């Protein structure tokens, strides 16, 4: 026997059954994907699918060289005998905008887009944090006004409601203002933090020079007093920025969406301005953020497109499903309607013909493959979750009959003429 080969650390298989340390099944995942299809349709957002691999430069330019994601977490490699550096995408916005600019999608009209798929970051794997994880993301491109900020937040709220997790999520919002306002705040922040340089941890000392806003994001308990007293970005916002922020809040209030203002919410990627938000939960331990997003008015221009103010968010599917599985109401149902079993000479062919007939009538049909005692076949039928069993044995074949058993309901077992198969099942299914 050859040695077993293990999966890559931090990258999960999705199986038909629950795993010990990852309780999401493929069927559950698919139920979620179906719901997402309907949800995006309800809001009239269009899907975009981009490659998983992009030029590394795309992420460096959009997400920022000094961020953890680009600085430490990307899977980067060079294409063989090519000098081009490629990376597995760590998030979806950069690829989405690259495609929009490349294909001039914004020339005709603004765009409301969504995507779903795997992302890759080399982080320390733990519950809710993986190296291959999946996101659903929304991007509203070419919209400057605060109504669209509210629309996409309301879109999240709508999804939480459908998934039954509204009570377990808190919406936190903040405004990062514009570039000039951030620059003024940044220099005040650097002055202030420099006064505490010796007390800062290594990470924060480094960030002080590369990305001081991220110091406010530190989880180090010893630094909480220092960051709580730090200059607040909100105090540096001009009238226009405050107005935009206020309008977003008015919309949310008007829509009945509760929120908490968090002046320290900065988000981990460099491209955000004005509105930023996160949906957090206290049910997933340290991996508290289920969904995060914000405005990125300058990013499309940064990527070579005509200026187009935009906003978006991404949610982590693993975290979301861990929450939904324990607290929400999504159900996966991949049980067949009918389980077909057979016994005796020629039974397999007859059973397959009935199975075909049933599928054509719209039933989902599982068939016992191979041969075994009917008792064992019944056990398999039970395990499959099928509602009905169709049994073909010698006497049924001789008399051109079939036997049906209601495995879950009150109808019991009957033997009837083969021609009545579909009508009988339709009656039982009502």
Residue number, 213 or 392, with CB nearest to ligand ATP? 213
Residue number, 48 or 366, with CB nearest to ligand ATP? 48
Q: What minimum distance in Å lies between the beta carbon of 88 and ligand ATP?
A: 13
Q: What minimum distance in Å lies between the beta carbon of 314 and ligand ATP?
A: 4
The site string for ligand ATP over 267-286 (x = CB under 6 A, - otherwise) reads -x------------------
The site string for ligand ATP over 382-401 (x = CB under 6 A, - otherwise) reads --------------------
For 189, the 3-state DSSP assignment is: helix
Q: What minimum distance in Å lies between the beta carbon of 42 and ligand ATP?
A: 22
Residue number, 22 or 192, with CB nearest to ligand ATP? 22
Site for ligand ATP in 79-138 (CB under 6 A): 91, 121, 123, 129-130, 133, 135
Site for ligand ATP in 313-332 (CB under 6 A): 314-316, 318-319
Does 290 participate in binding ligand ATP (rule CB under 6 A)?
Answer: yes
Task: Give the integer Cα–Cα distance in Å for 428 and 404.
Answer: 10
Residue number, 266 or 358, with CB nearest to ligand ATP? 266
Looking at 230-363, list the stretches that DSSP marks H as alpha helix, in order from N- to C-terminal side: 239-254, 299-302, 317-327, 347-360
Task: Give the integer Cα–Cα distance in Å for 297 and 271.
Answer: 8
The site string for ligand ATP over 36-75 (x = CB under 6 A, - otherwise) reads ----------------------------------------
Q: Which two tokens stand for residue 262?
A: 């968090």
DSSP string covering 270-292: TT-EEEEEEEE-SSSTT--EEEE
Q: Find where tokens 């600085």 sit.
A: 71
> Contact 117/134 with Cβ under 8 angstroms?
yes
Q: What minimum distance in Å lies between the beta carbon of 333 and ligand ATP?
A: 26
Point out which span in 290-298, 301-309, 325-333, 379-387 binds ligand ATP (CB under 6 A): 290-298
> Which residues, including other chains, have CB under 8 Å from residue 49's CB and lie 6 or more apart?
115, 117
Residue number, 65 or 79, with CB nearest to ligand ATP? 65
Residue number, 68 or 396, with CB nearest to ligand ATP? 68
Q: What minimum distance in Å lies between the beta carbon of 292 and ligand ATP?
A: 4
Task: Give the integer Cα–Cα distance in Å for 430 and 421.
Answer: 15
Q: What minimum distance in Å lies between the beta carbon of 118 and ligand ATP?
A: 11
Residue with nearest beta carbon to ligand ATP: 316
Task: Give the integer Cα–Cα distance in Å for 119 and 297.
Answer: 23
Residue number, 131 or 387, with CB nearest to ligand ATP? 131
Residue number, 61 or 387, with CB nearest to ligand ATP? 61
Residue number, 112 or 129, with CB nearest to ligand ATP? 129
Task: Give the integer Cα–Cα distance in Å for 133 and 140.
Answer: 23
Does 292 participate in binding ligand ATP (rule CB under 6 A)?
Answer: yes
Residue number, 212 or 347, with CB nearest to ligand ATP? 212
Site for ligand ATP in 211-230 (CB under 6 A): none
Q: What minimum distance in Å lies between the beta carbon of 412 and ligand ATP?
A: 49
Q: Which two tokens stand for residue 216?
A: 């406010």
**Which of 105, 106, 200, 291 forms a contact with ligand ATP (CB under 6 A)?**
291
- The count of chain residues that interact with ligand ATP, using the rule CB under 6 A, is 18
**Which of 289, 334, 403, 411 forms a contact with ligand ATP (CB under 6 A)?**
289
Long-range own/partner contacts, residues 29-32 (CB < 8 A, 24 or more apart): 29/317, 29/321, 30/332, 30/334, 31/330, 31/331, 31/332, 31/333, 32/317, 32/320, 32/321, 32/324, 32/330
Per DSSP (E only), the strands in 304-427 are 310-316, 338-342, 365-367, 388-392, 401-406, 413-417
Residue number, 73 or 406, with CB nearest to ligand ATP? 73
Does 170 participate in binding ligand ATP (rule CB under 6 A)?
Answer: no
Strand partners, 373: none
> Contact 252/150 with Cβ under 8 angstroms?
yes
Q: Which helix (H) or strand (E) holds 93?
A: helix 93-102
Task: Give the integer Cα–Cα distance in Å for 62 and 161.
Answer: 33
> Contact 29/14 with Cβ under 8 angstroms?
yes
Q: What minimum distance in Å lies between the beta carbon of 111 and ligand ATP?
A: 21
Cα angle 296, 35, 53; round to 5: 50
Task: State the residues that interact with ligand ATP by CB under 6 A.
Answer: 91, 121, 123, 129-130, 133, 135, 268, 287, 289-292, 314-316, 318-319
């Amino acid at each position: 026997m050859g040695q077993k080969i293990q999966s890559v650390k931090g990258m999960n298989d999705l199986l038909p059954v629950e795993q010990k340390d990852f309780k999401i099944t493929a069927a559950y995942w698919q139920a979620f994907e179906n719901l997402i299809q309907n949800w995006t349709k309800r809001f009239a957002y269009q899907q975009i699918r981009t490659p998983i691999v992009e030029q590394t430069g795309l992420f460096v330019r959009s997400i920022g060289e000094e961020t953890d994601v680009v600085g430490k977490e990307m899977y980067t490699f060079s294409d063989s005998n090519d000098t081009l550096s490629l990376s597995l995408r760590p998030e979806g916005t950069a690829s989405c905008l690259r495609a929009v600019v490349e294909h001039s999608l914004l020339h005709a009209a603004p765009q409301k887009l969504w995507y779903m798929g795997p992302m890759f970051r080399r982080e320390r794997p733990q519950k809710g944090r993986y190296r291959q994880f999946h996101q659903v993301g929304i991007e509203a491109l070419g919209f400057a006004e605060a109504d669209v900020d509210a629309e996409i937040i309301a879109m999240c709220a709508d999804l939480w409601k459908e998934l039954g997790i509204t009570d377990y999520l808190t919406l936190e919002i903040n405004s990062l203002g514009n570039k000039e306002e951030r620059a003024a705040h940044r220099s005040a922040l650097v002055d202030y933090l420099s006064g505490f340089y010796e007390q800062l941890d290594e990470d924060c000392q480094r960030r002080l020079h590369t990305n001081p806003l991220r110091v406010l994001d530190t989880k180090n308990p010893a630094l909480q007093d220092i960051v709580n007293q730090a200059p607040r970005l909100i105090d540096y916002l001009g009238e226009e920025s405050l107005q935009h922020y206020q309008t977003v809040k008015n919309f949310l209030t008007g829509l009945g969406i509760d929120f908490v203002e968090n002046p320290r919410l900065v988000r981990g990627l460099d491209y955000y301005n004005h509105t930023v938000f996160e949906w957090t939960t206290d049910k997933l331990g340290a991996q508290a953020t289920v969904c995060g997003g914000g405005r990125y008015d300058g990013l499309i221009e940064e990527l070579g497109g005509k200026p187009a103010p935009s906003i978006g968010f991404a949610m982590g599917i693993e975290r979301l499903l861990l929450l939904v599985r324990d607290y929400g109401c999504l159900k996966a149902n991949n049980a067949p309607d009918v389980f077909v079993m057979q016994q005796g000479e020629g039974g397999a062919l007859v059973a397959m013909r009935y199975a075909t007939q049933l599928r054509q009538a719209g039933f989902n049909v599982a068939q016992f493959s191979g041969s075994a005692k009917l008792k064992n076949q019944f056990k398999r039928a039970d395990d499959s979750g099928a509602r009905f069993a169709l049994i073909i044995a010698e006497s049924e074949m001789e008399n051109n009959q079939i036997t049906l058993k209601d495995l879950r309901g009150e109808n019991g077992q009957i033997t009837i003429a083969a021609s009545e198969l579909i009508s009988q099942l339709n009656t039982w299914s009502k």
